[in-house]
A = this chain, B = another copy of it.
Amino acid sequence: MTLIATPRSLSFDAPLALQSGASIRQYSLAYETYGTLNADRSNAVLICHALNASHHVAGVYAGQEKSEGWWDSMIGPGKPVDTNRFFVIGVNNLGSCFGSTGPMHVNPDTGRIYGADFPVVTVEDWVNAQARLLDALGIQQLAAVMGGSLGGMQALSWTLQYPQRVRHAVVVASAPNLNAENIAFNEVARRAIVTDPDFHGGHFYEHGVVPKRGLRIARMIGHITYLSDDVMNEKFGRQLRNGLLQYTTQDIEFQIESYLRYQGDKFSEYFDANTYLLITRALDYFDPAIRFDGDLARALAPATARFLLVSFSTDWRFSPKRSREIVKALLDNDRDVSYAEIDAPHGHDAFLLEDARYLAVVRSYFERIAAEFAGAAAVRELPAGALL
């Protein structure tokens, strides 16, 4: 059965105070839901997205066969996060470019397009905005919050900002903060965008241009770091595009060059440059331990949720070591933690791919969650039945 997705949008008029001290006066969030909220509203699962994804998590849009959501292998009827049992919510984050209020929208305070003036948003700000969406949907407590990479940071932050509203957190291919190398890659990508003459200080919309050169470079760097060395060698190795060397410095010689240019071109057609800056900055800033002198165990003490963490052996951007830091900090707090380190060849990208062991781990964890609320429902039904 194909899941048909319907994008929705909700507007919020109460200003949202941001971590930076600024606030957003008025904004809307694009979201989608799949499955049915049960009577006691206990089966909701919130999915948080990473850099270039959106609220379109699962299913396809009516009449658009190839419009699968970005985590369609994970979420849907009969899938590991089974929409026959769970009410799944995908939401596009503030500052993104897929429907929620972002830099390409008009700032109600000035009547001008935000551009580079869109306020800096953090993981914590996103979680606060997501919490308001849940309020509007009438959901007090999530069965689970789940995300990979930057999405995993949001899931983790949920357990700290709203511990009572999260029963489970599924944190995939993530980290308690970025290390220097990750910040460095983000910074190079940002510099490529900001120094593109078509960026115009972030106000390129008014000039009718897009800093595509910068976006291409940013995406090429991203792609290198999402893949493992091994999978890149296996997929491309030193294969030539034309069989014979052309001896050229500017044209394509190797297949890997062709692949990267293609990915860069595609990305520059649809992704917003200011959004790229905002989202990589949110990644850089996330660091719950910063207020505790780097003591992650103390930082995670407020979390009462139960956790599943997953990492991938060849992920050098968000390595297993970083997931283990989270696991250890949670165990130091005597929390209930499951952890799977999947031996997958695909690097960071693995969290988006179909790996049988990975999907099986998540499936079995969500079966445990489903059993809990099925049990709770059974408990609630029992007294009623006993009255008969």
Contact = CB atoms under 8 A, between A and B. Distances in A.
A152 interface: no
Contacts of A339: none
Interface in A223-266: 223-224, 227, 229, 232-233, 235-238, 245, 247-250, 253-254, 256-257, 260-261, 264
A11 interface: no
A229 B120 contact: no
A179 interface: yes
Interface residues of A, number: 61
Given A238-B287, A256-B184, A216 B191 contact: yes
Contacts of A271: none
Given A202-B250, A213-B195, A187 B238 contact: no
A332 to B, nearest CB: 21
For A21, A236, A280, which residue has the most chain B Cβ atoms within 10 angstroms? Answer: A236
Interface string A104-145: 000000000000100110000000000000000000000000
A238 B191 contact: no
Nearest to A276: B249
Contacts of A187: 220, 254, 256-257, 260-261
> Main secondary structure on chain A at its contact with chain B?
helix
A257 B220 contact: no
A315 to B, nearest CB: 13
24 contacts: A19-B247, A116-B250, A120-B247, A177-B238, A179-B229, A179-B232, A179-B237, A180-B229, A180-B237, A181-B224, A181-B229, A184-B220, A184-B223, A184-B256, A188-B220, A190-B250, A191-B217, A191-B220, A192-B192, A195-B217, A245-B285, A249-B277, A250-B277, A253-B284
Given A178-B238, A179-B233, A180-B256, 17 more contacts: A21-B247, A22-B247, A120-B247, A179-B238, A180-B254, A181-B233, A184-B256, A187-B256, A187-B260, A188-B217, A188-B221, A190-B249, A191-B261, A197-B197, A217-B217, A248-B281, A249-B278
